[in-house]
Amino acid sequence: MTSNEAPGADDGASKVGPLPFDVTKAHQARMYDYYLGGKDNYAADRAAVDEHIKIYPDLVFTMRANRAFLGRAVRYLAGEAGIRQFLDLGTGIPTAGNLHEVAQAIAPESRVVYVDYDPIVLAHARALLDSNEAGATEYIDADLRDTGTILSQAANLLDFTKPVAVTLMSILHAIPDADDPFSIVAMLLDAVPSGSYLAISQFGEELMPAKAREALLGSTRRTSLQQYTSRTREQVARFFDGTDLVEPGLVPVEEWRLDPGAGGEGKSVYWCAVGRKR
């Protein structure tokens, strides 16, 4: 095993670099697509999700609440926070409310760099490149753990002397502790100036009862290409070292700056927060 592989890796899933295209195993991007009602998924993805929902039905609510959090966070960043540059890691298959659409609806000049390592996201990347004229978007086919390469390619579109919002929505639980996600996030934050933002959502250890979590991770070991690591609220807070959290701080995704009159439909298993770099 090299330092770039997670313990237990025997199928190449945790090697750094683009994922293989494999329809016999569930992929995170395609499972998420199925959760959100999309059509870019295969039988293995649907079977894994169906099994996961049987174990923990609120996963459906979680995925939808996560996507809604992404929308509210980007509206906050482009609106109140005045951010015009975004680096989005773990973009997923394009769907309603892609980040550049949300940001450019508020600030048409917004520039967005998308990053993912799944070939199915690359295959659909054209939908992410459909920027309006005033702004720009770019897609980088890369593994988050190849952080240095991502930062140097992103510099072709983003000006790293000006504030950037770094968004890591529902991706860090796919990075095992062995690959040191804390150093990856620290490296991303180091690359952006003071006044930049970090937004994260991540599978929360305390948000799902231990028995369900063990069953879920056991199912994932059998069915899925990627494996997941839940993290405690305290661990998620560590990602935000060097930032000040904007209100309401670190909360489940469905509680972050809810639109008036919304909410109360369920409980997610994802922590989230948005922090401003000091």
Ligand X SMILES: C[S@@+](CC[C@H](N)C(=O)[O-])C[C@H]1O[C@@H](n2cnc3c(N)ncnc32)[C@H](O)[C@@H]1O
3 state SS of 111 = strand
What is the contact surface with ligand X in residues (CB under 6 A)? Answer: 28-29, 32, 66-67, 70, 90-92, 115-118, 121, 143-145, 169-171, 174-175
b/e per residue 28-37 (b: at least 16 CB within 10 A): bbbbbbbbbe
For ligand X, give the closer residue by CB, 16 or 195: 16
CB of 133 to ligand X, least distance (A): 25
CB of 204 to ligand X, least distance (A): 15
CB of 90 to ligand X, least distance (A): 3
Contacts for 105 with CB less than 8 Å, ≥ 6 apart: none
**CA dist., res. 202 & res. 233, Å (int):** 9
3 state SS of 136 = strand
**CA dist., res. 59 & res. 76, Å (int):** 25
For ligand X, give the closer residue by CB, 28 or 229: 28
For ligand X, give the closer residue by CB, 81 or 184: 184
CB of 136 to ligand X, least distance (A): 20
For ligand X, give the closer residue by CB, 118 or 205: 118
Asked if 23 and 44 count as a contact pair (C-beta separation under 8 A), the reply is yes
